[in-house]
């Protein structure tokens, strides 16, 4: 009895904002009526006093979804739930839909991957919270989906849908039936076809389908658009709606052949998505920062001998040693002496934060754009551990599987442009970091010794880009000299390594 009284008080507290004094005397529904009403629509049954008169006001909630960071809307109608895009990371407002793992009509198990999305920080798989069947897919690959926007609708058993409290409904809005107009009426079509119809302002219910069971195909939409005078040449439209990934990976030879056959060359509009959109924003902000650059040459003969020795004595199959792990470790040793280079700048408070960890980022060019994952706590890692972590990050970047943790929290960046070509570059800082280093390729060049003899040396040119609001030339020069000393004399690196 006591437990029931406490539960009754809690429910009334959660719902008190919806219970308003009645302006007119209306018949008071019975307790059974209230129980039946709420258990049918929101599954939150409770008992009410028998002799109080009031008007119960609650928003209409059919076919709506309330987004939560836990992944799925809890409101449902007849076993249909809306699956929204969950919050994939701090500060993420939208994601690009890369691909679906399911299609309409598929049976889905709990925790089964539904789709893959990419934010400006990482690529993430969205999994199912429910076991059920995919009723409707609302987006196609390449679409930009806002956090909280519905990705798909699923048909599930009522027992799987969690109970809803009245407090969750406080800020709900009336459902927008207009936005769902084109998706009703029982028309069979894929999300890509519906999206094509939407682009041309065509109600897909007006299109006569030629596919199986009356399914509307892309050709049906283009034919209808041509008949209605919306477009003139369906082939041009079909080309314009090609998948973005196909545009990026299309062979140049096929483009030239197509242009020669048609007799003219056409421009192609390619929207920037994912990491490329991130680069637009970050570089636009970084361009406003006052930079200066410091260029130095480093003799890498001793480094080349050390790398060859590592590879000769390598006992782990599949592990390849390069110059980069030693450069990363020696950089960390130099940062320990000059911590200002391993800092970040807070523009609002005009403060410099000296970062305790050496999270050294490595700029990597991938098919999906430039990405900068970082190796955490380099100061506490061995060269072998750095080699393994670098290999892991390189593989994940190629597979487009980097996690938010892999690409966040960097303190300084290395850009190994020499691996592709070029003697040196002029890099722009990766905010909020205050320094970035571009390394050119190592090349054999003639040098003159103190006694006048000419000899051949393996020379690498480095260019340090620095935020002049925080760093000055003297600090960067001393820091670079320390780094150079460890590279040219690796025995000092072994001597000071902890």
* 322/468 same-domain check: yes
pLDDT of res. 21: 36
Dihedrals φ, ψ of 348, to 5°? Answer: -70, -45
* Rg of the chain (C-alpha set): 31
Give catalytic residues, as residue numbers.
468, 472
Residue 139 lies in a domain: yes
CATH at residue 394: 3.30.559.10
Dihedrals φ, ψ of 309, to 5°? Answer: -65, -40
Residue 221 lies in a domain: no
Q: Are 126 and 115 in contact (CB under 8 A)?
A: yes
Q: Band the pLDDT of 381: cuts 50, 70, 90.
A: very high
Q: Band the pLDDT of 69: cuts 50, 70, 90.
A: very low
Closest CA to 27 of 5, 52, 2: 52
Reduced to 3 states (helix: H, G, I; strand: E, B; else coil), residue 402 is: coil
Q: Are 322 and 362 in contact (CB under 8 A)?
A: no
What percentage of the chain carries pLDDT values higher than 70?
71
Q: What tokens does 119 get?
A: 């934010």
CB count within 10 Å of CB 317 equals: 5
Q: Which of 117, 137, 156 is the last residue of a domain?
A: 156
Per-residue exposure over 11-50, b if at least 16 CB sit within 10 Å of its own CB, e if not: beebbeebbeeeeeeeebeeeeebeeebeebbbbebebee
Q: Which of 99, 129, 156 is the last residue of a domain?
A: 156
Least confident stretch, 57-66, 160-169, 315-324: 57-66
The per-residue pLDDT for range 131-164, each reduced to its tens digit, is 899 999 999 888 888 888 999 999 887 655 544 4
For the chain, how many structural domains are there in total?
Answer: 2
End-to-end CA distance of the chain: 66
Q: Band the pLDDT of 54: cuts 50, 70, 90.
A: very low
Q: Which of 129, 156, 183 is the last residue of a domain?
A: 156
Q: What tokens does 211 get?
A: 């596919």
Residue 422 lies in a domain: yes
Reduced to 3 states (helix: H, G, I; strand: E, B; else coil), residue 225 is: helix
Q: What tokens does 295 get?
A: 């260029």
| Alpha carbon 230 to chain centroid, angstroms | 36
CATH at residue 96: 2.40.50.100
What does the alpha-carbon distance between residue 296 and residue 439 come to, in Å, rounded to a whole number?
Answer: 10
CA distances from 417 to 188, 276, 335, 447, 484 (A): 51, 18, 21, 24, 18
Reduced to 3 states (helix: H, G, I; strand: E, B; else coil), residue 196 is: helix
Closest CA to 300 of 438, 441, 404: 441
pLDDT of res. 168: 42
Residue 346 lies in a domain: yes
Residues forming a β-bridge with 294: 464
Q: What tokens does 283 get?
A: 């570089």
Residue 303 lies in a domain: yes
Residue 316 lies in a domain: yes
Burial class, 465, CB count within 10 angstroms (exposed 0-12 / middle 13-18 / buried 19+): buried
The per-residue pLDDT for range 88-101, each reduced to its tens digit, is 776 678 888 888 99
Among 101-105, 216-220, 226-230, 468-472, name the most confident range: 468-472
Residue 258 lies in a domain: no
Q: Are 167 and 15 in contact (CB under 8 A)?
A: yes
| Alpha carbon 481 to chain centroid, angstroms | 38
Q: What tokens does 375 get?
A: 């190796």
Residue 101 lies in a domain: yes
Q: What tokens does 212 get?
A: 């199986």
Instruction: Identify the domain containing residue 97 by its residue range.
Output: 79-156
pLDDT of res. 190: 75
Q: What tokens does 13 get?
A: 């507290």
Give residue for tokens 């809307």.
73
Q: Are 97 and 125 in contact (CB under 8 A)?
A: no
Residues forming a β-bridge with 75: none
């Amino acid at each position: 009895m006591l437990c029931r009284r406490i539960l009754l008080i809690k429910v009334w507290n959660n719902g008190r904002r919806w219970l308003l004094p009645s302006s007119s005397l209306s018949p008071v529904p019975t307790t059974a009526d209230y129980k039946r009403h709420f258990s049918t629509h929101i599954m939150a049954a409770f008992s009410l006093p028998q002799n109080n008169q009031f008007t119960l006001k609650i928003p209409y909630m059919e076919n709506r979804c309330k987004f939560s960071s836990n992944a799925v809307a809890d409101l449902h109608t007849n076993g249909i739930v809306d699956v929204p895009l969950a919050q994939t990371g701090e500060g993420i407002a939208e994601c690009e839909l890369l691909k679906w793992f399911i299609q309409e009509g598929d049976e889905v198990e709990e925790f089964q991957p539904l789709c893959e999305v990419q934010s400006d920080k990482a690529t993430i798989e969205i999994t199912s919270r429910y076991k059920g069947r995919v009723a409707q897919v609302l987006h196609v690959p390449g679409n930009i989906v806002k956090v909280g926007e519905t990705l798909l609708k699923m048909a599930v058993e009522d027992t799987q849908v969690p109970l809803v409290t009245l407090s969750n409904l406080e800020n709900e809005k009336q459902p927008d039936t207009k936005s769902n107009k084109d998706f009703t009426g029982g028309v069979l079509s894929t999300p890509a076809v519906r999206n094509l119809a939407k682009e041309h302002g065509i109600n897909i219910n007006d299109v006569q389908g030629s596919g199986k069971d009356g399914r509307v195909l892309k050709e049906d939409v283009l034919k209808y658009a041509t008949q209605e005078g919306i477009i003139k040449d369906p082939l041009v439209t079909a080309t314009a709606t090609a998948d973005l990934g196909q545009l990026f990976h299309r062979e140049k030879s096929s483009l030239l052949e197509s242009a020669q056959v048609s007799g003219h060359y056409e421009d192609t509009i390619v929207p920037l998505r994912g990491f490329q959109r991130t680069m637009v924003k970050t570089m636009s902000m970084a361009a406003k920062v006052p930079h200066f650059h410091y260029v130095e040459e480093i003799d890498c003969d001793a480094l080349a001998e050390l790398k060859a020795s590592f590879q000769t004595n390598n006992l782990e199959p599949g592990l390849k040693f390069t110059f980069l792990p030693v450069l990363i470790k020696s950089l960390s040793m130099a940062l320990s002496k000059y911590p200002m280079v391993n800092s970040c700048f807070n523009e609002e408070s005009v403060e410099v934060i000296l970062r305790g960890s050496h999270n050294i980022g490595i700029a990597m060019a991938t098919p999906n754009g430039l990405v900068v994952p970082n190796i955490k706590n380099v100061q506490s890692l061995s060269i072998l551990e750095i080699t393994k972590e670098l290999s892991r990050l390189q593989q994940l970047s190629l597979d487009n599987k980097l996690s938010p943790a892999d690409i966040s929290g960097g303190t300084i960046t290395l850009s190994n442009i020499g691996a592709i070509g070029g003697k040196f570059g002029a890099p722009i800082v990766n905010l909020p970091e205050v320094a970035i280093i571009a390394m050119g390729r190592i090349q054999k060049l003639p040098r003159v010794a103190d006694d006048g003899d000419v000899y051949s040396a393996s020379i690498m040119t480095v260019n340090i880009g620095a935020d002049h609001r925080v760093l000055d030339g003297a600090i960067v020069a001393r820091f670079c000299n320390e780094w150079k000393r460890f590279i040219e004399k690796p025995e000092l690196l072994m001597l000071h390594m902890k």
